[in-house]
Amino acid sequence: MSKRNLKRSSLRKQQSEKDKLKFNDIQSSQYGKLTAFQHILGAIQQQDIDCHQYIKIPLELIDLTAVFIAGLMSGNEYLLALPSPTLMTCTLETYQANIKFINKTLSRAQITYSSLIVCLWYIDQFFARRRRQRLQQQQQQRHMDDCLYSTNNKAKGSKRHSPKSWHVRDLFMASIIVADKYMADLTWTNADWADSTQYAYSCQDLNQLERRFLDEMDYSLFVSEYDYYHFCHYLEFRLHLRQCLIATQTSSAMSLSYHSINVLSQHLNPIYAKRLGLSLRPFEAMMLLAKTATSICIMYAATLAAALSTAYVCYQYSTWVVTVLLERKLQEHAVMMVVDMLDIPGGLDSAILALQHRNLSLC
């Protein structure tokens, strides 16, 4: 192999090692960001809604926030435990483009935690209204079928009640603008938001989206402390529930932390519990409790076994050290005795005779 090929091969190996290290760093940092995001959601519940009005989202968490929002609106399961109602068929490329757009917009706007939570709450309420409208349409359709209405009247009724579709970016922009204006007294104007989107939206476009969103929300923008607290707990619950599902699929119940078990064991608002379909039969609940208790017992047993093994190793090592020190002490004492015998007048023969005389006297 020539020197050029050897050099090229070594460069490829070095690049491969760099890529592996970079991938590991990305994975560890992403896990750390997810843990930090979960910690923030848990900390928000301990304070009032007004305490987070002036706390901005750190730049290192904005990318994860963008993924979270895009997943919530498009039904992607990257961070969420269960799929959300989809606005449209979202391909991977569209999903990544939405994440990139939300990331850049949040980075330039620098909104606060409270505005973000209220924005997500508005999106959640938007989907809830859509579900209620869909159920009402189905009930009206059944009523019309029972009453034997004509086909023309059915078509007119369905056209009259069909909601207009939204794109992910449009819904995000409308909800974040309304939430930021609701939470902050001094906030960005729509012209400022247009600049934050790098003029992907004009000021007129944002005005139209805002009015349309307010009409569909029926101007119901008030968020109580009760709703704010339970919605934060719902978001935290979904993040930890995803970890639980991953642990169940990989049969690694040991990977669940005490904090995750604590969050998943707390009471969830019945509205959110019904939405997630968290209705366990008594036998399933007992099995889940048995698995959780077994995993906790295994963790305690493993910890206790590790402590006992460590104590045993320390005991064996200390016994060996004492034995070695005692042998050295005996050797030194024997040497000193021999030296003392050599110092007796008459030399070694007199020392031997003295010892024999001593033994005879003892007999």
Whole-number percent of the chain with pLDDT over 70: 51
pLDDT in tens, 207-245: 999 999 999 888 988 888 888 888 888 877 777 776 666
Residue whose C-alpha is closest to residue 46's, from 202, 216, 233, 321: 233
Residue whose C-alpha is closest to residue 176's, from 118, 99, 119, 108: 119
The pTM assigned to this predicted structure is: 0.58
Contact 206, 50 (CB under 8 A): no
Cα atoms in the 13 Å half-sphere on the side-chain side of 11 = 6
pLDDT average, residue stretch 295-322? 86
> What φ, ψ does residue 56 adopt, rounded to 5°?
-80, 155
Q: How far is CA 137 from the centre of its chain?
A: 38
Q: What is the structure's pLDDT at 123?
A: 87
pLDDT in tens, 103-118: 888 888 877 778 888 8
Residue whose C-alpha is closest to residue 262's, from 236, 290, 226: 236
Which contacts (CB < 8 Å, 24+ apart) does range 273-277 have? 276/81, 276/82, 276/238, 276/241, 277/82
Residues listed for the chain: 363
Task: Decide: helix, strand or coil at residue 216.
Answer: helix
Least confident of 29-33, 36-40, 161-165, 225-229: 29-33
CB-based contacts of 168, cutoff 8 Å, min separation 6: 70, 73, 74, 87, 88, 90, 94, 98
Whole-number percent of the chain with pLDDT over 90: 7
Q: Which residues pair with 344 in a beta bridge?
A: none
Give the separation between CA 18 and CA 24, rounded to whole angstroms.
10
220, exposed or middle or buried, with CB in 10 Å at 0-12, 13-18, 19+? exposed
Retrieve residue 51's tokens. 């305490």
Task: Check pLDDT > 60 for residue 362.
Answer: no
Average pLDDT, the chain: 70
Give the separation between CA 114 and CA 57, rounded to whole angstroms.
10
